[in-house]
Amino acid sequence: MSGGNAIRGTRVGAGPMGESERGESAPRRRVSYWCANGHESRPSFAVEADVPENWDCPRCGLPAGRDEQTPPAPPRNEPYKTHLAYVKERRSDADGEAILEEALAKLRRQREVP
């Protein structure tokens, strides 16, 4: 007994499909890129396409350049900053003390009012 679906198990676009149906692919060229770890990657680009100067290394994720002798330097990782660290960059300790005193005075006034 069938489930009533004649095309069960197939998907749109399934079946033999060659260049005759898809069209011819564009002429390609391979370009070598090297990262700071010495990995080489060779992505392919269309002949008429602009080739980028940098490419991300698929093995380690570092930026890779086209010159094997001088690959791009690894990016500098900034440590995670807390909200307090950002506040301290913008405010001095004296500013913080003044703001704290102002907030405490406001709280004390609110508690005094019945």
Model confidence pLDDT, tens digit, residues 23-37: 778 899 999 999 999
pTM: 0.53
Model confidence pLDDT, tens digit, residues 43-78: 999 999 999 999 999 999 999 999 999 999 988 888
Which residues contribute to the annotated binding site for Zn(2+)? 35, 39, 57, 60
Instruction: Look at residue 75 in the predicted model and tell me its pLDDT.
Output: 87
Instruction: Look at residue 46 in the predicted model and tell me its pLDDT.
Output: 93
Which residues contribute to the annotated binding site? 35, 39, 57, 60
pLDDT value at 113 more than 90: no
Query: Using an 8 Å Cβ cutoff, are 64 and 56 in contact?
Result: yes
C-alpha triplet 78, 84, 89: angle, nearest 5°: 70
The residue among 42, 100, 38, 33 whose CA lies nearest residue 67 is 33
- E-strand ranges in the chain read 28-30, 33-35, 40-41, 44-46, 54-56, 63-65
